[in-house]
């Protein structure tokens, strides 16, 4: 690249960066003019709509309630992955959708939940709506190659069988779709439908197709529901929570940039620009892809800044190695990017595989986390492999061609990690067992193995109408302490209802005595001028309702299954790429170690286990796999020159030692970012940041001290087995020759 092209590259980069920064940061906020102001915020940051349904059946079964909640959760995921559905009382279901403010519009789109049946012309019921898996509006080409709008249906196995029998026997007849007693459509059967999937055609507009699909979806619920109230609720957290998180992120980003400049000189400055560009791109992309951002989501974005530096560290460490080996700076740049490519791509593809599986199978916040993480992975690869490379080459062309601009490679004495493997294995086992041990201790103390939050165990919703209107900050300072003092717990969530002084407080499940005590304390602390006719004293309007967990058993099951499948797919990819199942086996063992240590932090410190628990675990899985692959990539590279090493043990130790710079700087920058977030963040962010800090340390330990030795043990066992088999085969061959020789001598003697 000549100087002219280099200048053009730098000018173009500066212009793009300026536009992105304006769009992402100047545009943030309701009064801004940039695109990022339109990013959807979650219920905790911006509020949304709360809708309460009541079942027509006054005594629904627990099974039907769970089934209805699960199906509604899948429906509202279309509005936001952070939407939640939970049970309130015995026969009520509450839906909370963030980022929207028109309750009537949501109600119209959801439709009025009622009964749904598919009937023949004689009134015979073929099946009811409970057998419908999905109903979506779509488009296709008709016989004239014109676009037509249709409704696509899919039934479960029982419904598919019933529909196949009916359509096979009634080709040419109509099947009426009866919703809430009225016929909403009566399509004619053109052919037998035996696979459980069908398409309803007609003179649909996109709106009418969506309306029919909505009727069918909402009518497929196990229970018939009726709306009893809908409210627009305010943010659960104040502006302080958002601003402190952003400040923590900026502090962390600044420290990371300084560390990179200190460690890598000019490439460190370039990495800083690339990280800033990454952060700007991420914010703009969140808006472009219509993703919902919650407070844990902001923490995840900030964490991804720390993780995004990983690719830059790998690249620049490689460049310095090549310079130290005697190559020219230009050659070192080209070779450094080339050699770093496999580790970066393999590490990020494994994470993208996990994201794809989680987005496909999981629901709710897990799906949202997967989407945000995938976005961050793609953007970090782009900024590291494209933007950083362009800038490094541009700087070289502008005269920064001396090796001094790239700093000196750090040389470590050979670390004898494999030799000390028994010590490291013992430490790992003790740490892994600490979680179950503390769970048992907590259970024996009667406080429960883990400190489950309301998302997992439900609780009580206390609806209070005050005399005065309170801001979120005033609620935190004046009202929450009163409630916390009564219930003996700091876990109190507050939601303001728009257009009045009503506030809904969610806490752990309260006993009758606690509810009575809370009513008295609130009346004492916040009296109003309205008198209760029966008691003749000042009284607030206070109502209590028992609410179910927002993370249902089905959602937990889906998340666990999705995580298991994701990990399996990741390990299959590692097996395929490294052509050795022992790499995958060692990776999964290290992964189990890291996850169990994070789990132990929840048990030991009694961190509240809520929806961020799943996000924290998934973050550590992705982080741990990346760290492991970098070392395995170097082991794979050194195996091609195995003859230059005296032993397999030396090969592994050399691989770990040569990647130590990456391990130190990546762990340091990520840890610093999360620590800054922990120091300045609000309590809910601290509960997310602390286990991540534990996970980062656990991942650093396992990648350096466990993965290599684990692979060595597995490989050595295979080598010993192969040698034994070869020896046995040789001995068998020798015995065969001796026997054959004796037989020949016997034949000669007989002659």
pLDDT by residue (tens digit) across 352-398? 887 888 777 766 666 777 777 788 888 888 888 888 888 888 888 87
Is pTM beyond 0.75? Reply is no
| pLDDT, tens digit, 9 for 90 and up, residues 260-307 | 888 888 888 888 888 888 877 887 787 777 777 776 666 667 667 766
Confidence (pLDDT) at 22: 65
Q: Percentage of the chain surpassing pLDDT 90? A: 13
Confidence (pLDDT) at 653: 93
Q: How many CA atoms lie within 13 A of 649 on its CB side?
A: 8
Fold of 459-547: Alpha-Beta Plaits (3.30.70)
Residues 555, 556, 560, 563, CA torsion sign: positive
DSSP-derived secondary structure for 123-157? --EEEEGGGEEEEEEEEEE-TTS-EEEEEEEEE-H
Q: Which of 19-23, 294-298, 558-562 has the lowest mean pLDDT?
A: 19-23
Residues 6 or more apart whose Cβ sits within 8 Å of residue 92: 52, 53, 54, 55, 228, 545
Q: Which of 18-22, 25-29, 71-75, 211-215 has the lowest mean pLDDT?
A: 25-29
Domains of the chain by residue range:
3-39+238-396, 418-435+555-713, 459-547
Q: Hunting for tokens 């192969």 — which residue is that?
A: 722
Contact 115, 106 (CB under 8 A): no
Residues 6 or more apart whose Cβ sits within 8 Å of residue 632: 574, 578, 583, 586, 587, 707, 711
Give the rounded distance of the alpha carbon of 585 from its chain centre.
24
Which residues, listed in sequence order, are joined to residue 182 by a DSSP beta bridge?
179
Q: Hunting for tokens 């100087």 — which residue is that?
A: 3
* Among 241, 375, 386, residue whose Cα is nearest residue 304: 375
Asked if the domains 3-39+238-396 and 418-435+555-713 are classified in one and the same CATH topology, the answer is yes
User: What is the Cα–Cα distance from 453 to 390, expressed in whole angstroms?
Assistant: 48
Cα 6–Cα 11–Cα 17 angle in degrees, nearest 5: 125
3-39+238-396 falls under which CATH superfamily?
Multidrug efflux transporter AcrB transmembrane domain (1.20.1640.10)
Kind of pairing between the strands at 292-293 and 40-41: parallel
Examine the pLDDT at 651 and tell me if it is beyond 60.
yes
User: What is the Cα–Cα distance from 678 to 660, expressed in whole angstroms?
Assistant: 26
Residues 6 or more apart whose Cβ sits within 8 Å of residue 134: 152, 153, 154, 217
Fill in the DSSP letter of residue 406.
G
State the distance between the two ends of the chain, measured CA to CA, in whole angstroms: 88
Fill in the DSSP letter of residue 24.
I
Q: Is 489 helix (H, G, I), strand (E, B) or coil?
A: coil
**Furthest-apart CA pair in the chain: how many Å?**
130
Examine the pLDDT at 29 and tell me if it is beyond 50.
no
Structure tokens at 245: 């998180």
Residue range 520-538: mean pLDDT, rounded: 66
Cα 369–Cα 375–Cα 376 angle in degrees, nearest 5: 90
pLDDT grade, residue 531 (50/70/90)? very low
Fill in the DSSP letter of residue 476.
I
Q: Is 59 helix (H, G, I), strand (E, B) or coil?
A: coil
Contact 358, 618 (CB under 8 A): yes
Instruction: Please state which architecture CATH assigns to domain 418-435+555-713.
Output: Up-down Bundle (1.20)
Residues 6 or more apart whose Cβ sits within 8 Å of residue 199: 138, 140, 150, 151, 152, 153
Confidence (pLDDT) at 438: 94
Contact 591, 566 (CB under 8 A): no
| pLDDT, tens digit, 9 for 90 and up, residues 389-437 | 888 888 888 788 888 888 777 777 889 999 999 999 999 999 999 999 9
SS (H, E, C) 559-580: HHHHHHHHHHHHHHHHHHHHCC
pLDDT grade, residue 111 (50/70/90)? low
Confidence (pLDDT) at 594: 92
pLDDT grade, residue 534 (50/70/90)? very low
Contact 49, 100 (CB under 8 A): yes
User: What is the Cα–Cα distance from 553 to 69, expressed in whole angstroms?
Assistant: 11
Cβ burial of 519 (10 Å; 0-12, 13-18, 19+) is: middle
Examine the pLDDT at 223 and tell me if it is beyond 90.
no
How far is CA 338 from each of CA 315, 689, 709, rounded to the nearest angstrom?
A: 9, 35, 27
Per DSSP (E only), the strands in 285-349 are: 292-293
User: What is the Cα–Cα distance from 392 to 331, expressed in whole angstroms?
Assistant: 12
User: What is the Cα–Cα distance from 612 to 456, expressed in whole angstroms?
Assistant: 11
Q: Is 640 helix (H, G, I), strand (E, B) or coil?
A: coil
């Amino acid at each position: 690249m000549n100087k002219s092209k280099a200048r053009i590259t730098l000018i173009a980069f500066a212009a793009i960066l300026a536009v992105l920064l304006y769009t992402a940061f100047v545009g943030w906020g309701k009064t801004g003019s940039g695109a990022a102001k339109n990013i959807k915020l979650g219920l905790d940051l911006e509020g949304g709509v709360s809708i309460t349904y009541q079942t027509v059946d006054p005594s629904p079964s627990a099974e039907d309630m769970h089934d209805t909640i699960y199906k509604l959760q899948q429906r509202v995921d279309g509005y936001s992955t952070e939407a939640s559905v939970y049970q309130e009382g015995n026969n009520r279901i509450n839906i909370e959708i963030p980022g929207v403010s028109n309750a009537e519009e949501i109600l119209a789109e959801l439709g009025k939940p009622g009964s749904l049946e598919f009937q023949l012309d004689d009134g015979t019921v073929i099946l009811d709506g409970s057998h419908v898996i999905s109903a979506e509006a779509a488009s296709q080409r008709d016989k004239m190659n014109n676009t037509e709008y249709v409704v696509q249906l899919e039934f479960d196995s029982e419904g598919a069988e019933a529909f196949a029998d009916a359509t096979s026997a009634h080709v040419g007849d109509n099947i009426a779709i009866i919703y809430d007693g009225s016929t909403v459509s009566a399509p004619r059967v053109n052919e037998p439908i035996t696979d459980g999937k069908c398409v309803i055609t007609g003179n649909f507009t996109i709106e009418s197709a969506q309306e029919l699909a909505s009727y069918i979806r909402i009518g497929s619920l196990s229970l018939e529901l009726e709306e009893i109230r809908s409210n627009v609720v305010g943010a659960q957290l104040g502006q302080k929570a958002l601003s402190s998180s952003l400040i923590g992120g900026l502090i962390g980003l600044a420290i990371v940039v300084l560390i990179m400049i200190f460690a890598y000189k000019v490439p460190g400055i370039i990495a800083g620009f690339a990280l800033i560009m990454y952060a700007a791109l991420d914010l703009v992309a969140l808006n472009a892809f219509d993703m919902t951002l919650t407070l844990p989501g902001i923490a995840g974005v900030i964490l991804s800044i720390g993780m995004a530096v990983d690719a830059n560290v790998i690249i620049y460490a490689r460049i310095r190695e090549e310079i130290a080996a005697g190559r020219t700076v230009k050659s070192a740049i080209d070779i450094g990017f080339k050699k770093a490519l496999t580790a970066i791509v393999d590490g990020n593809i494994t994470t993208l595989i996990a994201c794809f599986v989680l987005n496909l199978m999981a629901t709710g916040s897990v799906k949202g986390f997967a989407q945000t993480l995938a976005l961050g992975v793609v953007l970090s690869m782009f900024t590291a492999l494209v933007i950083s490379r362009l800038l490094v080459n541009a700087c070289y062309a502008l005269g920064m061609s001396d090796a001094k601009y790239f700093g000196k490679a750090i040389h470590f004495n050979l670390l004898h990690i494999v030799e000390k493997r028994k010590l490291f294995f013992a430490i790992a086992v003790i740490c892994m067992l600490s979680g179950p041990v503390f769970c048992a201790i907590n259970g024996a103390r009667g406080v429960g193995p883990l400190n489950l939050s309301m998302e997992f165990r439900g609780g009580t919703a206390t609806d209070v109408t005050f005399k005065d209107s309170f801001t979120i900050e005033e609620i935190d300072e004046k009202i929450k302490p009163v409630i916390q003092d009564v219930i003996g717990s700091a876990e109190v969530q507050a939601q303001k209802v728009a257009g009045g002084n009503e506030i809904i407080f969610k806490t752990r499940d309260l006993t009758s005595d606690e509810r009575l005590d809370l009513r008295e304390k609130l009346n004492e602390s916040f009296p109003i001028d309205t008198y209760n006719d029966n008691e003749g004293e000042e009284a607030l309007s206070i109502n209590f309702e028992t609410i179910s967990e927002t993370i249902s058993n089905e959602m937990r099951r889906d998340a666990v299954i999705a995580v298991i499948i994701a990990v399996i797919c990741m390990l299959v990819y590692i097996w395929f790429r490294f052509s050795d199942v022992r790499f995958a086996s060692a990776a999964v063992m290290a992964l189990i170690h890291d996850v169990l240590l994070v789990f132990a932090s929840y048990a030991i410190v009694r961190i509240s286990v809520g929806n961020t628990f799943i996000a924290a675990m998934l973050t550590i899985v992705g982080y741990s796999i990346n760290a492991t692959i970098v070392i395995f990539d170097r082991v794979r590279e050194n195996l091609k020159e195995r003859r230059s090493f005296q032993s397999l043990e030396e090969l592994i130790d050399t691989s770990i030692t040569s990647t130590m710079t990456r391990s130190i700087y990546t762990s340091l920058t990520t840890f610093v970012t999360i620590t800054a977030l922990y120091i300045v963040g609000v309590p809910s962010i601290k509960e997310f940041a602390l286990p991540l800090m534990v996970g980062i340390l656990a991942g650093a330990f396992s990648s350096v001290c466990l993965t290599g030795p684990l692979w060595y043990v597995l490989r050595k066992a295979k080598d010993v087995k192969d040698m034994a088999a070869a020896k046995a085969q040789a001995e068998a061959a020798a015995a065969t020759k001796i026997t054959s020789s004796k037989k020949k001598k016997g034949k000669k003697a007989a002659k």
